[in-house]
Amino acid sequence: MSVMPDPFETSIASLLRFIGESRRMAGFTGAGISTESGVPDFRSPGSPWMQNKPIPFGLFLENPAARREAWRRKFTMDDLYRDARPTRGHAALASLVAGGRMTAVITQNIDNLHQASGLRDDEVIELHGNGSYATCLSCDRRHELADIRLAFEASGEPPVCKSCGGIVKSATISFGQAMPQAKLRAALTLSLESDLFLVIGSSLVVHPAASLPSLAKENGARLVIVNREPTPLDGQADLVIAGEIGPVLSRIASEL
Ligand code: APR
């Protein structure tokens, strides 16, 4: 009597074969890679991120009360995830990059956990910015959150730029805010040049980020999706691993 192959083992074997045959692998991550770190994702049931309607960028610009509310929410969320550390998924991708298997990681995440796992700034392409610091929207000067928080909690007033008096915002991209063009171009180049595009922990519903896997695939790359839930691109993928990221990626990293 033949023993049915274990689907997990079959998927791991396929992904290892794809990686072995790849010369230019690109990583693409979403919030799913950070849930094991304690940072909830956006679209799993009960996500705290979705309890408040996002503050559109235009409202943030024109309305000081909206800026006050945005900063209040920011510091509340920061407190919830202050102790978040990179976990197995981040570590596995960092070892793939360090080992020369993966060129860089395109991420939608703003939690800085890829950098905290050891990836250099030039090995992470942040499409939606980074929430670990703030910048002036006029002169782009960087502002540290600790300083902003002290002043904000003392005065209740949203921060203004120390250099030019401009509006200061967390260095993340809000709905309605222009994406960082240089990063988008870098992500597009990496996607089009890749021969293996590995999607980790994204529902693939937010564009333009979610168009990158399809562009890579249309340009000849193999597409692999590791995600707990189905995504709109599963039908295009060469391999879908519907499971927990931690066990999958740590197994892959241990075999390479
Ligand atoms: N293992 C596998 N999959 C997981 C895990 C896990 N441990 N944890 C979560 N997931 C999956 C979820 O099932 C979900 O499909 O990760 C996916 C995360 O999807 P989203 O919450 O939609 O996050 P993301 O795709 O990164 O959202 C994109 O939307 O709100 C904006 O700017 C925000 O960058 C974000 C963008």
CA proximity to 238, closest of 252, 220, 255, 254: 220
Looking at the fold, whether 3 and 105 belong to one and the same domain comes out as yes
Q: Do 96 and 168 sit in the same domain of this protein?
A: no
> Could you tell me the distance, in angstroms and rounded to a whole number, from the CA of residue 178 to the centre of ligand 1?
21
1, pLDDT greater than 80: no
Atom of ligand 1 nearest to the CA of 30: 26
Question: Residue 10: CB partners within 8 Å, gap ≥ 6?
Answer: none
Annotation says 128 is catalytic: yes
What CATH number is given to the structural domain containing 143? 3.30.1600.10
Domain identity same for 156 and 218:
no
Mean pLDDT, all residues of the chain: 96
90 lines ligand 1 (CB under 6 A): no
pLDDT for the residue numbered 207: 94
What's the predicted TM-score (pTM) here? 0.96
- Asked if 112 and 123 sit in the same domain, the reply is yes
> What is the residue range of 191's domain?
1-39+86-128+179-256
- 62, 165: one domain: yes
Neighbours of 99 (CB within 10 A): 10
Residues 115 and 235 in one domain: yes
24 and 61 both lie in a single domain: no
Same domain, 142 and 107: no
Q: Which of 90, 128, 143, 207 is catalytic?
A: 128
Residues 28 and 147 in one domain: no
pLDDT of 81 > 90? The answer is no
| Exposed/middle/buried for residue 26 (C-beta within 10 Å: 0-12, 13-18, 19+) | buried
Q: Are residues 245 and 219 in the same domain?
A: yes
Q: Mean pLDDT over residues 128-148, rounded? A: 97
Q: What angle do CA 21, 26, 31 make, to 5 degrees?
A: 130
Same domain? For 188 and 255 the reply is yes
Answer yes or no: do 76 and 93 share one domain: no
To test the pocket of ligand 1, the residue of 28, 36, 43, 207 to mutate (highest count of ligand atoms within 8 Å of its CB) is: 43
- Buried/exposed 55-88: b ≥16 CB within 10 Å, e otherwise: bebebbeeeeebbebbbebbeebeeebeebebbb
